């Protein structure tokens, strides 16, 4: 609580507090990245696997001393119908938030054994040349098992995790019940620092934390409750289940030397009418900037003619990106359905493979502008200002992109 109060006190936090805090965060981050690099799953999957195995064995030996953190059995829409859960990206933000807390508390995170699949996200996202009706039916499942998406051993290398349908979890529950108040606490609105430092919590076998009923990542929105340990966005994408990584590796090998674009249209380009009947959108240039003729112009300076361009998109109009063939050799995940179909059971798995393929591209161009170190198709920021603006469809209305 002390840390919590210090940061909050007075109106303007003084630089004498911020600077040391920043230094500590920077050092922690540095160490974390150093450890990530040394166990980079992309560059040395074989080496990593043996490390993971041996570490897990050590961990199992120490189960008697291990302490656990439980956030509930659903990442998103806790206590609600799964219809309302968010897409994979949102749920990953939430999961990352819980993982960061587990790292901070030096506890094993008990992860939900299933992830909810949003039916909206499940209808979109796959770019197939034909038989869309059929493929929609195959995507009908509402949730999928967590370990069909992520490699638990690989995650445990950085943050120890177990699933809430595992034997170990049932043992923990039994033991914590036997221990009673010394074994488990059900907490709500207790700061991370308190959970770590207050002996009422720090010695417990199990902390059962009731996370925000909206969604888990709300717990990380409160800057004062943020742990100094931060996982990068790329952490969970690179923790994909082994069969997904294998499939991505196969496709990457077939693509050879390639660049990639991620074109987010679908739900992101939707407009709504204001009270004067005028269309408004949160990303005014998105629809324009993700059309093939604008993409061609935008990426000209980054992707030379003749390159293989891998396209991941939720645009479903057949042939939508064909105009790009004037300059590039196009490839989609649908080109590799003979490799994907035996492994991929839902859209989240497909997107995880596509992400790995995009991460392996020589040049990867995102949809939204995230910061100046990345290429993007549009200058519209990913984090929008919540302002509904009029969509811009031509060059003339806006000087940002000139032909």
Asked if 204 touches ligand NAG (CB under 6 A), the answer is: no
Contact 46, 56 (CB under 8 A): no
At a CB cut-off of 8 Å and minimum separation 6, what does 35 contact? 158
Per rule CB under 6 A, count of chain residues that contact ligand NAG = 8
Q: How far is the CB of 308 from ligand NAG (least distance, A)?
A: 6
Q: How far is the CB of 136 from ligand NAG (least distance, A)?
A: 20
Burial class of 362 by CB neighbour count within 10 A (0 to 12, 13 to 18, 19+): exposed
At a CB cut-off of 8 Å and minimum separation 6, what does 395 contact? 401, 402, 403
Binding mask 142-181 for ligand NAG (x = CB under 6 A): ----------------------------------------
Q: How far is the CB of 177 from ligand NAG (least distance, A)?
A: 9
Binding mask 43-82 for ligand NAG (x = CB under 6 A): ---------------------------x------------
Element (H, E) at 330: strand 329-331
Looking only at the bridges linking them, the beta strands covering 114-116 and 143-145 are antiparallel
Q: Which of 149, 247, 331, 344 binds ligand NAG (CB under 6 A)?
A: 331
Candidate ranges 96-104, 132-140, 275-283, 326-334; the one touching ligand NAG (CB under 6 A): 326-334
From CA 33, how far away is CA 196, in angstroms rounded?
23
Strand order in the sheet with 206-209: 161-163, 108-111, 68-70, 206-209, 184-187
From CA 257, how far away is CA 363, in angstroms rounded?
10
Q: Name the nearest CA neighbour of 209 among 224, 221, 196.
A: 196
Candidate ranges 13-21, 230-238, 325-333, 385-393; the one touching ligand NAG (CB under 6 A): 325-333
Q: How far is the CB of 50 from ligand NAG (least distance, A)?
A: 34
Asked if 333 touches ligand NAG (CB under 6 A), the answer is: no
Asked if 108 touches ligand NAG (CB under 6 A), the answer is: no
Asked if 335 touches ligand NAG (CB under 6 A), the answer is: yes
Asked if 186 touches ligand NAG (CB under 6 A), the answer is: yes
Using alpha carbons, list the distances in angstroms from residue 18 to 4, 115, 159.
13, 37, 27
Q: Which of 21, 36, 120, 330 binds ligand NAG (CB under 6 A)?
A: 330
Name the residues that contact ligand NAG, by CB under 6 A: 70, 186, 208, 210, 329-331, 335
């Amino acid at each position: 609580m002390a840390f919590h109060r210090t940061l909050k006190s007075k109106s303007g936090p003084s630089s004498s507090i911020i600077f040391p805090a920043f230094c500590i965060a920077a050092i922690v981050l540095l160490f974390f990245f150093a450890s990530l690099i040394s166990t980079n799953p992309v560059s040395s999957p074989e080496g990593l696997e043996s490390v993971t195995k041996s570490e897990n064995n050590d961990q199992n030996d120490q189960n008697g001393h291990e302490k656990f953190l439980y956030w509930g059995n659903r990442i998103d829409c806790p206590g609600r119908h799964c219809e309302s859960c968010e897409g994979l990206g949102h749920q990953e933000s939430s999961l990352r938030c819980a993982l960061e807390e587990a790292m901070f508390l030096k506890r094993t995170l008990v992860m939900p054994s299933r992830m909810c699949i949003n039916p909206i996200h499940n209808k979109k996202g796959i770019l197939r040349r034909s038989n869309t009706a059929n493929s929609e039916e195959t995507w009908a499942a509402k949730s999928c098992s967590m370990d069909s998406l992520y490699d638990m051993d690989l995650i445990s290398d950085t943050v120890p995790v177990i699933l809430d349908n595992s034997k170990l979890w049932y043992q923990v529950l039994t033991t914590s019940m036997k221990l009673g108040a010394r074994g488990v606490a059900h907490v709500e609105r207790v700061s991370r620092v308190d959970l770590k430092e207050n002996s009422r919590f720090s010695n417990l076998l199990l902390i059962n934390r009731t996370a925000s009923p909206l969604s888990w990542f709300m717990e990380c929105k409160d800057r004062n409750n943020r742990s100094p340990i931060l996982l990068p966005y790329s952490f969970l994408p690179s923790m994909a289940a082994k069969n997904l990584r294998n499939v991505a590796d196969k496709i990457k090998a077939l693509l050879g030397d390639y660049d990639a674009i991620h074109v987010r249209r679908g739900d992101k380009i939707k407009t709504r009418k204001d009270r004067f009947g005028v269309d408004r959108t949160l990303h005014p240039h998105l629809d324009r900037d993700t059309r093939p003729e604008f993409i061609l112009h935008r990426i000209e300076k980054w992707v030379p003619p003749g390159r293989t361009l891998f396209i991941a998109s939720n645009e479903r109009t057949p042939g939508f990106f064909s105009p790009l063939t004037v300059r590039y050799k196009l490839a989609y995940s649908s080109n590799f359905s003979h490799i994907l179909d035996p492994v991929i059971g839902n859209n989240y798995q497909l997107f995880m493979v596509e992400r790995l393929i995009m991460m392996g591209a020589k040049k990867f161009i995102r949809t939204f502008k995230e910061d100046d170190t990345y290429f993007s198709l549009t200058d519209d920021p990913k984090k929008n200002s919540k302002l509904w603006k009029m969509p811009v469809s031509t060059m003339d209305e806006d000087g940002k992109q000139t032909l």
